[in-house]
Amino acid sequence: MKKHLLLCAALVLSSLCWAQEKGTPAAENKKANENSTEVAKEKGVSVYSNDFTYTPYTPTFKSDGTTKKIKNVILMIGDGMGMSQAVAAYYANNNALSILSLKNMGYVRTYSASHFTTDSAASGTTYGCGVKTKNGYVGVTPDGEKKANVPEKIDAQGFATGIVTTDNISGATPSSFYAHSSSRNASKDILVQMKDSPLDFFAGGCVTLWNKYAPGEIDNLKKDGWTIINDYKKIGENMQAQRIGLVAYDKDVAPIMNGRGDFLPSTVKQAIAYLSQKSKKGFFMMVEGAQIDWGCHNNDSKYAITEVIDFDMAVSEALRFADENGETLVIITADHETGGMTMPNGDYKTRSVRGVFTTGGHSGVMVPIYAYGPYSQLFRGVQENTDVHHKIIEILSKVK
């Protein structure tokens, strides 16, 4: 009897957790797959043949794995990007991705304080704040206490900080770097915390979201010294701005396959230019490729793979800067795997991948971590997601 009760409680909890994931404001986008993959005849099976190839940046490896001077850290989170997602994109892109050209690699354990399988809120909090928490919690401990995030920890030392996402800015992953809430769905509570955060730059999401959950708050940000722009091309004209918020879309950010264009890689490039001139000390930036997760929730190979390739284009921009700059560490990982994706077969000639998804939710497998630049060797082996945060703080403490 007791066993039955426990099982029921577990089932209710896991379905609640799934409901939380589906309840995010941008979750509507998960349905935005009209142009998507050939209709799957078998449940969970989705075939995609890629019809374009992009040439990833090839790193020089000059500063890779050194213990030389360090100044900047760029943390890039492919939401839901497990090994299969990265490898599927690699095959689809003619056996080339920036991420998979890197040498210092490891694995990350992703379980949360409440669940074997984490959600993006609990995992984002481990990267953002260095603490395991309950699914659904953002920037707080399992007891609901605020825990300082990377920007809050390093701001006083003079670093510039920024976040970029293809989700709304109130999404669980970006929120973990500026807000504290025991509910990832408390969009209003999360959005109004932007003005108290030390961030110098944010990019993501849409006007509709701000107007729906925090009407007038964009104006409050402007009064507080934020320059709010609607196009990444305007970052270059605003290099002297005190702080920049890029809200580029009227409605939820579209999937790349439905016309998002070069928002992510170009914003990353421009944000790096802004942040690197903003502070002599250095900068920290978090970049999220949010919609890899949504493609995998949809069990849609095309959606997932095209998002990974777009994310890899952003990685290329970060690696190119790291080589020019020589004092920049780039870390690429995921918050969890989504879809339990695997690839029983494919075809190299047609760059076709047969993705098979074993769940509509997240899975508990470890996720790969890739690192490039000074101190990238610290990310080898198996580590806790919280370790990634502590390593970043430790590395930034070496900046003179």
Applying CB under 5 A, the residues found at the interface with Zn ion are 21, 293
Nearest approach, Cβ of residue 139 and Zn ion (Å) = 18
What's the order of all strands across the beta sheet hosting 201-203? 226-229, 243-246, 201-203, 160-165, 283-289, 72-78, 328-333, 367-372, 104-109, 381-384
SS3 331: strand
Nearer to Zn ion by C-beta: 357 or 379?
357
CA angle 318, 193, 293 (to 5 degrees): 45
Residues with Cβ < 8 Å from 156, sequence gap 6 or more? none
CA atoms within 13 A on the CB side of 237: 9
Q: Least CB distance from residue 21 to Zn ion, whole Å? A: 5
Interatomic CA distance for residues 229 and 150, integer angstroms: 25
Instruction: Identify which of residues 81 and 388 has a Cβ nearer to Zn ion in the complex.
Output: 81
Distances (CA, A) of 385 to 34, 75, 128, 293: 35, 13, 10, 18
Confirm if 116 and 135 have CB atoms less than 8 A apart. Answer: no
Rounded-to-integer distance, Cα 161 and Cα 177, Å? 10
Q: Minimum Å distance from CB 290 to Zn ion?
A: 9
Our measurement of the distance from residue 317's CA atom to the centroid of its chain's CA atoms, rounded to an integer in Å, reads 15
Q: How far is the CB of 192 from Zn ion (least distance, A)?
A: 24
Residue 21 or 152: which CB sits closer to Zn ion? 21
Beta bridge partners of 244: 201, 227
Nearer to Zn ion, 252 or 293 (CB): 293
Tokens found for residue 87: 């490898």
Of the two residues 130 and 171, which places its CB atom closer to Zn ion in the complex? 171
Distance (Å, rounded) from C-alpha 3 to C-alpha 64? 52
Could you tell me the smallest distance in angstroms from the CB atom of residue 335 to Zn ion? Answer: 8
Give the nearer residue to Zn ion in terms of CB position, either 308 or 371: 308
Q: Is residue 288 within 8 Å of residue 174, measured between CB atoms?
A: yes
**Measured between alpha carbons, how far is 397 from 330 in angstroms, rounded to an integer?**
16
We find the least distance from the C-beta atom of residue 201 to Zn ion, in angstroms, to be: 25
In the bound state, the residue with its beta carbon closest to Zn ion is: 293
Q: Which is nearer to Zn ion, 293 or 387 (CB)?
A: 293
Report the residue number, 110 or 316, with the smaller CB distance to Zn ion. 110
CB 353 within 8 A of CB 378: no
**Minimum CB separation from Zn ion for residue 137, in Å?**
15
User: For helices 83-92 and 301-325, what crossing angle results, to 10°?
Assistant: 90
State which residue, 338 or 376, has the beta carbon closest to Zn ion. 338
For 228, residues 6+ apart whose C-beta sits below 8 A from its C-beta are 218, 221, 222, 244, 245, 246, 247
CB 88, min distance to Zn ion, A: 17
Nearest approach, Cβ of residue 297 and Zn ion (Å): 6
